[in-house]
Amino acid sequence: MKPLQHPLRVRPAFTDWPLAVKSIFGFWLFYAATVVARALLSRDPLTIIENRAVTIGVGIVLTFFIYATLSLFANRASLFQRVGTAAAASLAAAASMAGILMFIDKYQQRPQDQIRFVSAEGYRITETGKVTVIERDGQPPVTVTWPRVGALDPYIQLRIAADSAVVWLFFFMAWSAYYLAMQAQAQALRAQKRAAEAEGAAQAAQLRALRYQVNPHFLFNTLNSLSSLVMTGRSDRAEAMLLALSTFFRSSLSLDPAADISLAQEIDLQRLYLEIEKTRFPDRLQVEIDVPDELQSARLPALILQPIVENAIKYGVSKTRYKVLIRIVGNTLPDGRMAIIVSNQLVNGKKDQLPAATHEGTGLGIANVCERLETRFGSRAECRFGPMAGGGYKVSLTMPVRRDD
């Protein structure tokens, strides 16, 4: 059997008809406005407007012909091919316009607008419509009636038609250029919108992937701790740890992985986590949290502090027999951004009694945090970390202050 072939999905014709209708009627309404302005300067404006109304009607039909030609025969063509198609259709429309106007000339009335002037030879000339009266003192007046176009010599008719076609060609080409430019702009905006949507979707997917790496990492370490508590007979602490663990996961897993939460919510989640760790290290873990009220409502990625606090416990508290202080501090920087600092240091201990934190092993932790910040805020965020001069380790996250409207 032959494999099933899916037809290419192409953009159907006439999908942009609202743009075509607006531009066509806009062009011809502008032309109509110039006709009316010119007619009001004459003594027979109604006849001029009536004659030009027919011209406008024919022009609208022919402009729609150009649009239909582009939509039917150049819908999937390149811009160069579309320009060529528009030029050919405009030429055909201009020739048709000239021919139609010459044909209906014999059915149209002539404006009875009267013009009088004296020629250089001294003749007094009066023109009324197609009738011209020539007078001179001492001579009888001569009346000349201009013939209809159809009564002229074929060569002269051809010249008149060619002149008329050139004039209308520029008009039709002007509309075609405007239409193609607007269509290209619309396509560019659609492409830009699709690119923005794709970029947003990719960013959201990346944030979800990074966030989903946190929970298994944290769960593995917590279950390890629970196992140690059970094996050493500390069932009461294991029960308290399970209760805190269930509360933590109920709170954290209810969050949208790609959503932002307030700093106050993030701090509450870390309090839950640190309560779990206090069950493991009741005599070795001390916690201080100092976040000013003005930053409580600031938005940041959910659980962004989790890997940092976890590393502070793993490489700080669990590596020493002494009491370790875990500090979470938030402050506003002079440039308007906020900084959140997480550090671990000994309480009344020596500098060399607390090993320097590392970020080896699974490759998560601080690398995960920095990548999430860069994905979310780009160059407006900073992620700095390293040992402190007085011992211990510090991680500083800098990001814009954003709040819900």
Whether the per-residue pLDDT at 1 is higher than 50: the answer is no
383's enclosing H/E stretch is strand 382-387
Q: Mind listing the pLDDT tens digit for each residue in 328-357?
A: 999 999 999 999 999 998 887 665 555 554
Q: How far apart are alpha carbons 132 and 242 in whole angstroms?
A: 110
- Please compute Rg for the chain using Cα positions: 42
| Cβ neighbours of 227 (radius 10 Å) | 11
CA 72 → CA 64, 304, 337, distances in Å? 12, 54, 55
> In the beta sheet, which residues pair with residue 285?
324
Place of tokens 């002007």: 174
> What is the pTM assigned to this prediction?
0.50
Q: Mind listing the pLDDT tens digit for each residue in 164-223?
A: 999 999 999 999 999 999 988 888 888 888 777 766 666 666 555 555 555 565 677 677
Whether the per-residue pLDDT at 132 is higher than 90: the answer is no
Burial class of residue 314, CB neighbours in 10 A (0-12, 13-18, 19+):
middle
Mean pLDDT value of segment 245-257:
73
Q: How far apart are alpha carbons 375 and 203 in whole angstroms?
A: 7
Enumerate long-range contacts of 43-47, CB under 8 Å, 24 or more apart: 43/112, 43/113, 43/114, 44/111, 44/112, 44/113, 47/109, 47/110, 47/111, 47/112
Scored b (16 or more CB within 10 A) or e, 100-111 reads bbbeeeeeeebb
Torsion sign, CA atoms 248, 249, 254, 256: positive
- Reduced to 3 states (helix: H, G, I; strand: E, B; else coil), residue 321 is coil
Q: What are phi and psi of 140, to 5 degrees?
A: -70, 145
Q: How far apart are alpha carbons 192 and 195 in whole angstroms?
A: 5
Token reading at 245: 């663990």
Out of 18-32, 112-126, 328-342, least confident range: 112-126
User: Where in the chain are the domains?
Assistant: 17-108+153-199, 213-399
Mean pLDDT of the chain: 82
Pick the CATH number of 213-399 from 3.30.540.10, 3.40.50.300, 3.40.50.1820, 3.30.565.10: 3.30.565.10
More confident residue, 135 or 64: 64
